[in-house]
Amino acid sequence: MAFMGDMISPSPLWQNGPSPGAFYNFPGNSNHGPLSHINQDFRAHSAAPITTTTTVIGIKFDKGCVIAADTLGSYGSLARFRDCPRVLKVNDLILLGSGGDYADYQYLRDIIEQKIIDEQCIGDGLQLKPKSLHCWLTRVLYNKRSKMDPLWSNYVVAGIQDGEPFLGAVDKLGTAYEDAAIATGMGAYMATPLLRDVLDKGPLNEESAKALARKCMEVLYYRDARSFPRYQLGVVTAAGVTVEEPTEIGQNWTLAHMIHMK
């Protein structure tokens, strides 16, 4: 909203001059840092993702859900951190996947893990359910975005809610929805069509859902420049939550010579 920006920081009185109501300092001669100079976008540091992760995929099948995500933490275009696990077992009912800023995910993960510990300490045997976590994430992310200080990440919540599979997504604004197939980031463009294509043909079982997730991770690895051949797959069913150790994508580049970029 352009008009809000104008209200918060009016334009300077003259070229390179102070803005109304602000002190003037010469650049490089300021003891007070850039903040005292002009009302610049002082929160800009938190309004951009730094170490980012790419797609996370979620698929619902007849008795549960799978989530898949690779383990790369990118620093811009640099493939900087190669072991950033982001498929999380929250409790026996919930599996959580995340994409976007990795630090923001780690921050929220710590809070969620503490929530689970607090809950276990009550000792009434009740467990957080996926819909509750999904709704909670909606509120946390929406409140942050309303402060113009967003947590720059997407979340896919999978789980078992009263015996039924649940799969939902929340983005950095707090936009929340449920669907049988969810893919965030680049996967929204490349994996969603593959997922919907298969799901339109009928419900999946655990094995076919896992195979589909693996296929999507492979396709994404070939085309998404921020992806990685090492990924994790998590499954949630009524039997509980399992997160596999990272597995490698079997690469095959024999076709590469046939692709001419002219």
Partner 1 sequence: MLSVNSNFPEYAVPGAKQVRFEPYADNGGSVVAIAGEDYAVIGADTRLSTGFSIYTREQKKLFKLSERTVLGATGCWCDTLTLTRLLQARMQMYEHEHNKAMTTPAVAQMLSTMLYYKRFFPYYVSNILAGLDADGKGCIYSYDPIGHCERSTYRAGGSAGAQLQPLLDNQIGLKNMQNVTEAPVPKEKALALLKDVFISAAERDIYTGDCIYIIIITANGIQEEKFELRKD
**106 interacts with partner 1 by CB under 8 A:** no
* CA 81 vs CA 51, 53, 85: distances in Å: 8, 10, 10
**81 interacts with partner 1 by CB under 8 A:** no
Q: Closest CB to partner 1 among 86 and 144?
A: 144
Binding to partner 1 (CB under 8 A) within 170-209 occurs at 171, 173-179, 188-189, 192
Residue 231 · residue 246 · CB < 8 Å: yes
* CA 69 vs CA 130, 141, 150, 176: distances in Å: 19, 21, 22, 20
Residue 154 · residue 56 · CB < 8 Å: yes
- Size of interface with partner 1, in residues (CB under 8 A): 37
Specify the pairing of strand 64-70 against strand 73-75: unpaired
**259 interacts with partner 1 by CB under 8 A:** no
Q: Closest CB to partner 1 among 173 and 239?
A: 173
Q: Closest CB to partner 1 among 109 and 196?
A: 196
Give the range of 3-11, 110-118, 227-235, 245-253 binding partner 1 by CB under 8 A: 3-11
**161 interacts with partner 1 by CB under 8 A:** no
CA–CA separation, 176 and 189 (whole Å): 18
Shortest CB 93 distance to partner 1, Å: 22
Please identify which residue in 27, 33, 123, 202 interacts with partner 1, judged by CB under 8 A. Answer: 27
Please identify which residue in 38, 103, 140, 211 interacts with partner 1, judged by CB under 8 A. Answer: 38
**40 interacts with partner 1 by CB under 8 A:** yes
Helix axes 206-223, 192-200, angle to 10 degrees: 150
Please identify which residue in 36, 114, 120, 146 interacts with partner 1, judged by CB under 8 A. Answer: 146
Nearest CA to 99 out of 46, 153, 150 is that of: 153
Written as one string, the DSSP assignment of 179-204 is: -SEEE-TTHHHHTHHHHHHHHHT---
**51 interacts with partner 1 by CB under 8 A:** no
User: Under DSSP, is residue 220 helix (H, G, I), strand (E, B) or coil?
Assistant: helix
Residue 68 · residue 216 · CB < 8 Å: yes
The residues binding partner 1 (CB under 8 A) are 1, 4-5, 8-9, 11-12, 16, 19, 27, 34, 38-41, 44, 47-48, 76, 138, 142, 145-146, 148, 150, 169, 171, 173-179, 188-189, 192
